[in-house]
Amino acid sequence: MPKATSTTNRADWRALPARQQPTYRNSKLVAAVVCELQERAPLVPVAEIKRLRRKLAKVAEGKAFILQAGDCAEMFNTPLSRLTNLIKVMLQMTIILMYGGRMEIVKLVRGAGQYAKPRSSDIDELDLKSYRGDLVNHNRPTKRARRHDPRRMLRAYNASAKTLAKIRELTTGGMADLRRIHQWNLDFVQSSAPGHRFQELADNVEHFLDFMEACGVNVRGMSALKVAEMFVSHEGLVLEYEDALVRDDYATSGHFVWIGERTRHLLEAHVDFFRHLRNPVGVKIGPKTTIEEIKAYCRILNPQNTPGKLVFISRMGASEVRTKLSPLMRAAQETSCPVIWICDPMHGNTFSHNGYKTRSMDVIKNEIEGFFEVCAELGVHPGGVHLELTGDDVTECLGGHTDEVTAERLKHQYETACDPRLNGSQALEVAFFVAGLLQRLHRGEFAIAA
Ligand code: PEP
Ligand code: MN
C-alpha cells in the first residue's frame, strides 16, 4: 500500500483505508450518482474560493479573525426561515467582534453542505444503523430509513444549492445593510441581556453612521456597508461525494472543507484526498494529536507554505487546552508553514444529562479563554472561533447570561439532529465574551493577564 506522503494522484485515496464512509449496497447506483454529480455545475465558483484564501492570508498575518458557525448537522427539510435566523445572528456576532477586535471578520457558515456526520458507533441504542447525516441516511428510527442511500448525495447537492442561493439573497439583498442593524435582533433574543447589549451597540453604530453623514461622508452609498460576504464550509467526510465535485483540483462542494478529528490519520484516505485540494482546508486538532502529526499536516497539506491555506481547529476541551495546545502550537511554529489556529470550544466539552447531549456556556467560555492565553504566551494570533449555533430559541446548551437554560429545561426545545447548539442569545453572549478577549489583546493586556 502506498504511503500517503508519497502519492501523487488524486484518485489514490481509493486505495487507502477510509473511516466513517457509507456502506452502499448497490455499486451501480453509486456510479450513476457520481456520474451525475460530475456533470453538475460547481456549487461554489473557484474565484470565490481563491478570494477566501486571500482573506485567510490576512488572518494568518494577524489582521483578521474568523467566525465559523452553524449547525452540527444540517437537515434537508429545515425551513429557510431558520437559515435567515442563523445569518442574522452571524451578522450580529460579526458587528460585536469587529467592534471589540477592530479587525475584519471572515465569515464562514458551517452549512450549505454540512450533511454528513462521523459517529462513534455503527449501531445506535436501538440496534439500528446510526444516523450519519442526511447525505447518508434518514434520522427516523426504522431499519429502512437508516439504510445508506447513494441518491441522497444528489439531494445534498440540491439542498446545498438552495441554501447557498438563500445565503446570497440574505447577504447581498438588503438585509445585511448596516442601516438595518436593528432588524437583525430576533424577537426572543431582544428580551435577553445580550440582546439588550446588542441593542445599545446597534444604537451606537447608527449614531456613528449619522455622524459620518453629517460630516459629509456618503455612508449610504458605500457598498461595503450594504452587503456582507459569507463563505460556506463543511466537514469533507464522504469522499465519494467530495471527489465527484472536484473541478481543477478545487473541491467545489463548499469554499472551505475540513478533516474531522476521527478521520485525520496520516496514512489514510482523508489526508491523502485533501492534500490534492487547492482550497483552504482545516484539520480538527484534539488532545491526542502528536507533534509529529502537526508537522506532517503542515508538510502534506501546505507544502508551498501558502498563507491562508491551512487552518488548525483546536478542540481540546476546557480541561486540557492549557496543557495540550502549546506543544502543538510550538511544533507548528518550528515549521515555516504559516498556519492559522482557531478555537472550537464545543467538541471537547460535550456530556450527557438525562439522555440529552449538552455543553455548558461556562465551560465553552473557559476553553476560549484558555485558547487565547496559550496563543498570547506563544505569540500566536488567535485566528478565530468555530461554533455550533443556531439563531433559534432552542434549549440544547446549558447556562447563559440569565442562567436561562437549566438542566430541567433541556427537553423543552431540544431540536438538534446531532450535537447541542448555542441558541441566539447564547451565541451573542459568546460573541461579547470573545470581543472582550480581542479587546484585551488589542490593548496588549493579554500576556500580562495570562
Ligand atoms: C463536528 O464538527 O461536528 C465534529 C464531529 O467534530 P470533531 O471532528 O472535532 O469531533
Ligand atoms: Mn458537532
pLDDT of residue 3: 45
Atom of ligand 1 nearest to the CA of 418: 3
CA of 60 to the centre of ligand 1 (A): 23
Q: At residue 369, what are phi and psi to the nearest 5 degrees? A: -65, -40
SS3 content of the chain, % helix, strand, coil (to 5): 45, 15, 40
Whole-angstrom Cα distance, residue 105 to residue 95? 9
Atom of ligand 1 nearest to the CA of 261: 8
Burial pattern 366-395, b for ≥16 Cβ within 10 A else e, equals bbbbbbbbbbbbeebbbbbbbbbbbbbbbb
pLDDT of residue 4: 47
Q: Which three cell numbers stand for residue 155?
A: 439531494
* Ligand nearest to the Cα of 418, by number: 2
CA of 261 to the centre of ligand 2 (A): 11
Atom of ligand 1 nearest to the CA of 284: 9
Would the pTM count as exceeding 0.85?
A: yes
Residues near 269 by beta carbon (within 8 Å), at least 6 away in sequence: 13, 14, 16, 17, 18, 19, 239, 263
pLDDT in single tens digits along all 450 residues of the chain:
444 444 579 899 999 999 999 999 999 999 999 999 999 999 999 999 999 999 999 999 999 999 999 999 999 999 999 999 999 999 999 999 999 999 999 999 999 999 999 999 999 999 999 999 999 999 999 999 999 999 999 999 999 999 999 999 999 999 999 999 999 988 878 889 999 999 999 999 999 999 999 999 998 889 889 999 999 999 999 999 999 999 999 999 999 999 999 999 999 999 999 999 999 999 999 999 999 999 999 999 999 999 999 999 999 999 999 999 999 999 999 999 999 999 999 999 999 999 999 999 999 999 999 999 999 999 999 999 999 999 999 999 999 876 678 888 899 999 999 999 999 999 999 999 999 999 999 888 876 444
* Ligand nearest to the Cα of 313, by number: 1
CA of 417 to the centre of ligand 2 (A): 10
Where does 236-360 show beta strands of DSSP type E? 246-247, 250-251, 256-259, 281-285, 310-314, 340-343, 351-353, 356-358
Q: Whose CA is nearest to atom 4 of ligand 1?
A: 260
pLDDT of residue 405: 85
Decide if 419 contacts 346 (C-beta within 8 A). yes
Atom of ligand 1 nearest to the CA of 419: 3
Q: Which three cell numbers stand for residue 61?
A: 498575518
CA-CA distances (angstroms) from residue 205 to 103, 109, 402, 409? Answer: 16, 24, 26, 35
Q: For ligand 1, which residues put their CB under 6 angstroms from it?
A: 72, 118, 235, 260-262, 284, 315, 347, 419
Mapping DSSP to helix (H, G, I), strand (E, B) and coil, where does residue 311 land?
Answer: strand
Whole-angstrom Cα distance, residue 378 to residue 380? 5
CA of 137 to the centre of ligand 1 (A): 18
Q: Which residues pair with 70 in a beta bridge?
A: 110, 388
Atom of ligand 1 nearest to the CA of 73: 3
Give the dihedral sign, CA 8/14/18/20.
positive
Question: Nearest CA to 95 among 190, 36, 179?
Answer: 179
Q: Which three cell numbers stand for residue 424?
A: 441566539
CA of 189 to the centre of ligand 1 (A): 27
Q: Which three cell numbers stand for residue 302?
A: 501546505
pLDDT of residue 447: 64
Burial pattern 251-266, b for ≥16 Cβ within 10 A else e, equals bbbbbbbbbbbbbbbb
Question: Nearest CA to 170 among 113, 227, 94, 222?
Answer: 227
CA of 187 to the centre of ligand 1 (A): 30
Mapping DSSP to helix (H, G, I), strand (E, B) and coil, where does residue 347 land?
Answer: coil
pLDDT of residue 403: 61
